[in-house]
A and B are shown apart, each in its own frame.
Chain A
Amino acid sequence: MGLAVLFGIFGLGLFCGMPVAFALGLAAVGGFLYEGLPLFIGFQRILSGVSVFSLLAIPFFIFAGELMMQGGIANRLVRLASSAVGSVRGGLGVVNVLSSMLFGGISGSAVADTSALGSILIPVMKDKGYDPDYAVNVTVTSSVAGIVIPPSHNMILYAVAAGGMSVSKLFIAGIVPGILMCLCLALVAYWVAVRRGYPAETFPGFKALGVATIVALPGLMTAVIIVGGVLSGVMTVTESGAFGAIWAILVTTLVYRELTWPAFKLAVITSVRTTALVMLLVATASAFSYLLALYRVPDLLGNFVAGISDNPLIILLMINLILLVLGMIMDMAALILICTPIFLPVAVGLGMDPVQFGVILMMNLGLGLCTPPVGACLFVGCVVGKIRIEQAVKSILPFYLAILVALMLVTYVPAFSMFLPSLME
């Protein structure tokens, strides 16, 4: 009955278009009142939900990504990718994927990736004769790679929700699956481009490629700073996020000289907004999950899923399906916080490593970011590409399939995610 109150308020709130974070909070309030528990405990949970050390990396990485966008790092990365593979037929599609791999790897945010690369690449693609729906499809689906390729603030959320696992291990585990995903997407992008008869760019020559590389180098160094700073023992993963931001400020003001005062202010304010949206979700979700824990929901659901079949392959497929469906209707951060305590124990019970499960969760929910009805990346992509959602979705299926293939490979072949982290030991 208490659960009915909790999910009833939450569902009704969502249905009426209430912000997800507020619906979670109000549902928790209802639950506390129904249980006769002191209300302040729910709000205490909201506060402690945000006061978590590892979550500090979220504003850091968001800010770093925003600075790279405003300060001209992002478009140099695009130029580099374009000189490298632009000469392939449908090359701009492949460039788009490759840029996501580079930029998403650094920014850690799929939505930032979509809006940054989308606003640079989609107009260029349309200009060169690519259909708008194709341009949007490629941009949106490849941006999901940024969630899996480190750094990724969603992975940090997962590490917290999983009860504190090694973030660096998770990050490293995401590298191969992220590249795998980009590979699948690049193949599809190439295939569709050939079928539609899109043009190729001319190869600018090795000299131009070299120049593009050198110009992009200080930007690429951000990744080196982050990884190198951690491996050399100068700083922790969390601290490296702050240094990524500091480095981005230095590069964009001193080297590129593109980060003007208004651009800097815009980067700060945008980062504050994005941070607040994500963190408020974390906050109210922790009041919500207090009640889930009190009602022992994770145990119940875990037993339910495990009761459907005792075949690990089928259970994993079930979990993938549930996550995919949830990912279509809900936002990623909230889902990570709600689903991790429910499904992680089931996966671990099947002998899966929590790190591998984390990667699977990211890929699943990432796909949800580009599916209607609720897909932040899809929305942003359509806004940037100036097309309607139906128009984009009409031709997006092959791209979903590419991600699904990568997802299945990572689900059933642990080596894709676990080989690199196993080298750490």
Chain B
Amino acid sequence: MSPMRAAHHSSGKTDVEHELEHTARGPVYRVLAALAQTCLVIAGVQLVTLISIFGWLVWGRYVLNDTPTWVEQLALLLVVWITFLGAAAGVWNKSHLSIDFIREMMPDPLRIPMRWIAVIAVCVFGGFLAWQGWTLAEKTWPRNIPMLGIAEGWRAVPMAICGALTVVFSLYHVGELARGEYKLTGEL
């Protein structure tokens, strides 16, 4: 949950300490963190777009009596993008809702394999998301989204991206597990 994250952050370190930690984590970490951040920024722009086109919709219908007919379908497309880009960043930040207290109560011989299972299972599902997202995009490419006139396949593209990023991010988490550096919560 994001508000929890925010609270964590406020108790945290200075910027310099953050910077040092990033450097210490090496280039792979920095590239992946930048990817996750990029997802959030793009999705953020899309969220602001979403709000704006709804303003335009109401203006067009109520004031101009000429409803922009593309808003509804574009909004549905945008929300899919926001969901999957945000979800990919959520994998990196480990902010998806999970029940980890059971696992964390377990003794080491159980807890450690359970952590491996959880991280690898996320990676596997990410693989399915990427593969099936791609398949769906291909399958629906010849068909257009009504009122928008662009390929239906654009709806499946963010799912494929989210899947691919999920695989990459959770592979990094596998690395953390292997090095014994795994943390329950990610960083902003």
Contact = CB atoms under 8 A, between A and B. Distances in A.
Decide if A and B touch, CB cutoff 8 A.
yes
A260 interface: no
Interface in B13-69: 40-41, 43-44, 47-48, 50-51, 54-55, 57-58, 62
Given A43-B159, A380-B7, A16 B118 contact: yes
A26 interface: yes
A77 interface: no
A374 B114 CA distance: 18
Interface string A19-40: 1111101100100000000011
A53 interface: yes
A246 B51 contact: yes
Interface of A: 12-23, 25-26, 29, 39-40, 42-44, 46-47, 50-53, 55-56, 59-60, 63, 111-112, 114-116, 119, 234-235, 239, 242-243, 245-246, 265, 268-277, 279-281, 283, 329-331, 373-374, 376, 379-380, 383-384
B164 interface: no
A235 B71 CA distance: 14
Contacts of B41: 269
Contact of B128 (A29, A239, A374): A29
A247 to B, nearest CB: 11
The 8 A-B residue pairs whose C-beta atoms are closest, nearest first, are: A276-B86, A115-B3, A19-B96, A17-B100, A242-B54, A43-B132, A279-B83, A17-B103
19 contacts: A16-B118, A17-B114, A17-B115, A19-B91, A40-B132, A43-B159, A51-B155, A53-B75, A60-B54, A63-B51, A115-B3, A268-B48, A271-B47, A273-B86, A273-B89, A276-B90, A279-B83, A280-B96, A374-B101
B44 A50 contact: no
Nearest to B10: A119
A280 B40 CA distance: 15
Contacts of A374: 99, 101
Given A15-B103, A115-B7, A39 B87 contact: no
Interface string B116-147: 01100110110011001101100100000000
B38 to A, nearest CB: 12
Contacts of A274: 1-2
Which DSSP category, helix, strand, loop or mixed, fits chain A's interface? helix
Contacts of A17: 98-100, 102-104, 114-115, 118
A115 B6 contact: yes
B51 A270 contact: no
B4 A380 contact: yes
B151 interface: no
A279 B44 contact: no
Contacts of A330: 99
B135 A22 contact: no
A22 B43 contact: no
B97 interface: yes
Given A43-B132, A234-B58, A242-B51, A18 B1 contact: no
Interface string B72-97: 10011101101111110111010111
A16 B121 contact: yes
A155 to B, nearest CB: 18
Contacts of B82: 59, 272, 275-276, 279
B97 A281 contact: yes
A16 to B, nearest CB: 4
Contacts of B87: 21, 276-277, 279-280
Contacts of B104: 17
Contact of A270 (B2, B84, B90, B101): B2
Most chain A CB neighbours (cut-off 10 Å) among B57, B102, B132: B132
Contact of A111 (B1, B91, B133): B1
B47 A59 contact: yes
B167 interface: no
Contact of A277 (B40, B85, B96, B136): B96
Contacts of A116: 3
A18 B100 CA distance: 8
Contacts of A235: 58, 62
A40 B140 CA distance: 11
A242 B55 contact: yes
Contacts of A239: 54, 57-58
Contacts of A268: 44, 47-48
A273 B97 contact: no
Nearest to B103: A17
B51 A60 contact: yes
